[in-house]
Structure 1
Protein backbone atom coordinates (compact mmCIF):
# COMPACT_ATOMS: atom_id res chain seq x y z
CA UNK A 1 0.00 0.00 0.00
CA UNK A 2 1.28 3.42 -0.92
CA UNK A 3 2.72 5.70 1.70
CA UNK A 4 1.39 8.69 -0.23
CA UNK A 5 -1.27 10.37 1.86
CA UNK A 6 -2.98 13.74 1.67
CA UNK A 7 -0.73 15.01 4.45
CA UNK A 8 2.35 13.83 2.54
CA UNK A 9 1.15 15.61 -0.62
CA UNK A 10 0.47 18.80 1.35
CA UNK A 11 3.95 18.67 2.87
CA UNK A 12 5.67 18.12 -0.48
CA UNK A 13 3.67 20.95 -2.07
CA UNK A 14 4.63 23.33 0.70
CA UNK A 15 8.33 22.40 0.63
CA UNK A 16 8.95 21.96 -3.10
CA UNK A 17 6.48 24.47 -4.52
CA UNK A 18 6.01 26.84 -1.58
CA UNK A 19 2.24 26.89 -1.58
CA UNK A 20 -0.47 25.33 0.51
CA UNK A 21 -2.98 22.84 -0.82
CA UNK A 22 -6.51 22.60 0.42
CA UNK A 23 -7.97 19.28 1.53
CA UNK A 24 -9.79 18.60 -1.76
CA UNK A 25 -6.74 19.39 -3.91
CA UNK A 26 -4.54 17.17 -1.75
CA UNK A 27 -7.10 14.37 -1.92
CA UNK A 28 -7.29 14.63 -5.72
CA UNK A 29 -3.51 14.48 -6.07
CA UNK A 30 -3.28 11.61 -3.59
CA UNK A 31 -5.87 9.62 -5.55
CA UNK A 32 -3.78 10.15 -8.68
CA UNK A 33 -0.31 9.52 -7.20
CA UNK A 34 -0.93 6.60 -4.81
CA UNK A 35 -1.84 4.04 -7.52
CA UNK A 36 1.28 4.99 -9.49
CA UNK A 37 3.38 4.56 -6.35
CA UNK A 38 1.81 1.14 -5.73
CA UNK A 39 2.47 0.07 -9.33
CA UNK A 40 6.09 1.19 -9.11
CA UNK A 41 6.61 -0.76 -5.91
CA UNK A 42 5.08 -3.86 -7.49
CA UNK A 43 7.50 -3.90 -10.44
CA UNK A 44 10.57 -2.48 -8.72
CA UNK A 45 12.06 -5.88 -7.92
CA UNK A 46 12.00 -6.89 -11.59
CA UNK A 47 13.61 -3.72 -12.96
CA UNK A 48 17.07 -4.56 -14.22
CA UNK A 49 18.72 -1.23 -13.45
CA UNK A 50 19.33 0.99 -10.50
CA UNK A 51 20.38 4.62 -10.63
CA UNK A 52 23.67 4.02 -12.46
CA UNK A 53 23.68 5.01 -16.15
CA UNK A 54 25.70 1.90 -17.01
CA UNK A 55 22.97 -0.31 -15.53
CA UNK A 56 20.33 1.57 -17.50
CA UNK A 57 22.30 1.26 -20.75
CA UNK A 58 22.91 -2.45 -20.14
CA UNK A 59 19.20 -3.03 -19.52
CA UNK A 60 18.33 -1.22 -22.77
CA UNK A 61 20.89 -3.26 -24.70
CA UNK A 62 19.48 -6.51 -23.30
CA UNK A 63 15.96 -5.42 -24.19
CA UNK A 64 17.12 -4.53 -27.70
CA UNK A 65 18.72 -7.97 -28.07
CA UNK A 66 15.50 -9.65 -26.92
CA UNK A 67 13.51 -7.65 -29.48
CA UNK A 68 16.08 -8.21 -32.25
CA UNK A 69 16.97 -4.52 -32.26
CA UNK A 70 20.39 -4.65 -30.60
Structure 2
Protein backbone atom coordinates (compact mmCIF):
# COMPACT_ATOMS: atom_id res chain seq x y z
CA UNK A 1 0.00 0.00 0.00
CA UNK A 2 1.14 3.53 -0.74
CA UNK A 3 -0.02 6.79 0.77
CA UNK A 4 0.36 10.13 -0.96
CA UNK A 5 -0.84 13.56 0.08
CA UNK A 6 -2.35 16.01 -2.36
CA UNK A 7 -2.23 19.63 -1.24
CA UNK A 8 -4.50 22.35 -2.62
CA UNK A 9 -3.76 26.00 -1.86
CA UNK A 10 -6.38 27.90 -3.83
CA UNK A 11 -10.14 28.04 -4.25
CA UNK A 12 -10.35 24.94 -6.45
CA UNK A 13 -11.56 22.76 -3.56
CA UNK A 14 -14.01 25.23 -2.00
CA UNK A 15 -17.03 23.46 -3.58
CA UNK A 16 -15.96 20.18 -1.96
CA UNK A 17 -15.46 21.90 1.40
CA UNK A 18 -18.88 23.53 1.02
CA UNK A 19 -20.41 20.11 0.45
CA UNK A 20 -18.84 18.83 3.67
CA UNK A 21 -20.27 21.80 5.57
CA UNK A 22 -23.70 21.24 3.99
CA UNK A 23 -23.65 17.59 5.05
CA UNK A 24 -22.64 18.54 8.59
CA UNK A 25 -25.54 21.01 8.69
CA UNK A 26 -28.01 18.46 7.32
CA UNK A 27 -26.89 15.98 9.99
CA UNK A 28 -27.46 18.56 12.71
CA UNK A 29 -23.77 18.69 13.67
CA UNK A 30 -23.60 22.45 13.02
CA UNK A 31 -26.17 25.20 12.59
CA UNK A 32 -26.97 26.82 9.24
CA UNK A 33 -25.30 30.00 10.51
CA UNK A 34 -22.13 28.10 11.44
CA UNK A 35 -22.00 26.32 8.09
CA UNK A 36 -22.56 29.52 6.11
CA UNK A 37 -19.92 31.36 8.13
CA UNK A 38 -17.37 28.58 7.66
CA UNK A 39 -18.07 28.34 3.92
CA UNK A 40 -17.66 32.11 3.57
CA UNK A 41 -14.37 31.98 5.48
CA UNK A 42 -12.99 29.17 3.30
CA UNK A 43 -14.12 30.97 0.14
CA UNK A 44 -12.33 34.13 1.28
CA UNK A 45 -9.20 32.13 2.14
CA UNK A 46 -9.25 30.47 -1.28
CA UNK A 47 -9.60 33.74 -3.14
CA UNK A 48 -6.76 35.34 -1.18
CA UNK A 49 -4.39 32.34 -1.45
CA UNK A 50 -4.70 31.57 2.27
CA UNK A 51 -6.43 28.20 1.99
CA UNK A 52 -4.61 24.91 2.41
CA UNK A 53 -6.32 21.56 2.10
CA UNK A 54 -4.30 18.35 2.37
CA UNK A 55 -5.96 15.11 1.31
CA UNK A 56 -4.33 11.74 1.93
CA UNK A 57 -4.75 9.25 -0.90
CA UNK A 58 -4.33 5.54 -0.19
CA UNK A 59 -3.41 3.20 -3.02
CA UNK A 60 -3.62 -0.57 -2.70
CA UNK A 61 -3.38 -3.40 -5.19
CA UNK A 62 -4.40 -7.02 -4.93
CA UNK A 63 -4.89 -10.08 -7.04
CA UNK A 64 -7.84 -12.38 -7.05
CA UNK A 65 -7.00 -15.79 -5.58
CA UNK A 66 -7.03 -18.56 -8.14
CA UNK A 67 -9.99 -20.92 -8.01
CA UNK A 68 -9.10 -24.62 -7.77
CA UNK A 69 -10.52 -26.86 -10.47
CA UNK A 70 -12.87 -29.56 -9.18
TM-score (norm: length of structure 1): 0.29
Larger radius of gyration: 2
More helix by share: 1
More strand by share: 2
